[in-house]
């Protein structure tokens, strides 16, 4: 029996962290990758879902699980800085100005 998207979202609201999300969907993961990137993984998961809405008749569990697995895999062998999942990494970095360049 497949669950609706609303039922799945209700279940996910109860999960405290990235590890529990991955376990809920039965996704194998490296604890070290998740420890370093948990917020990035969940943000990427959210972004994937926002850009790929569930279509009528689709299995919500499989749809969400597939995007969560992809979000996790994005950070296997890659850094948060490279992936730029969080807004802080998407903002332009300020230019470096040495103390000598300041007109004091």
- Give the model confidence (pLDDT) of 16-58 as tens digits: 999 999 999 999 999 999 999 999 999 999 999 999 999 888 8
Task: Give the Cα separation of 75 and 8 in Å (integer).
Answer: 24
CA angle 70, 89, 29 (to 5 degrees): 30
88 close to 47: Cβ distance less than 8 angstroms: no
For residues 56-61, average pLDDT: 90
Q: C-alpha distances in angstroms, 15 versus 12, 22, 25, 43, 82?
A: 5, 10, 12, 15, 27
Q: In the prediction, which pLDDT does 72 show? A: 96
What is the domain partition of the chain in residue ranges?
5-77
- Give the model confidence (pLDDT) of 78-98 as tens digits: 766 666 665 544 455 556 666
């Amino acid at each position: 029996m497949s669950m609706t998207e609303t039922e799945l979202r209700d279940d996910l609201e109860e999960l405290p962290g990235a590890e529990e999300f991955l376990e809920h969907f039965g996704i194998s993961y490296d604890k070290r990758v998740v420890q370093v990137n948990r917020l990035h993984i969940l943000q990427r998961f959210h972004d994937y879902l926002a850009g790929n809405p569930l279509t009528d008749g689709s299995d919500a569990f499989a749809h969400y699980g597939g995007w969560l697995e992809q979000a996790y895999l994005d950070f296997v062998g890659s850094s948060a800085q490279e992936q730029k999942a969080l807004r802080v990494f998407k903002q332009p970095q300020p230019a470096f100005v040495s103390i000598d360049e300041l007109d004091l």
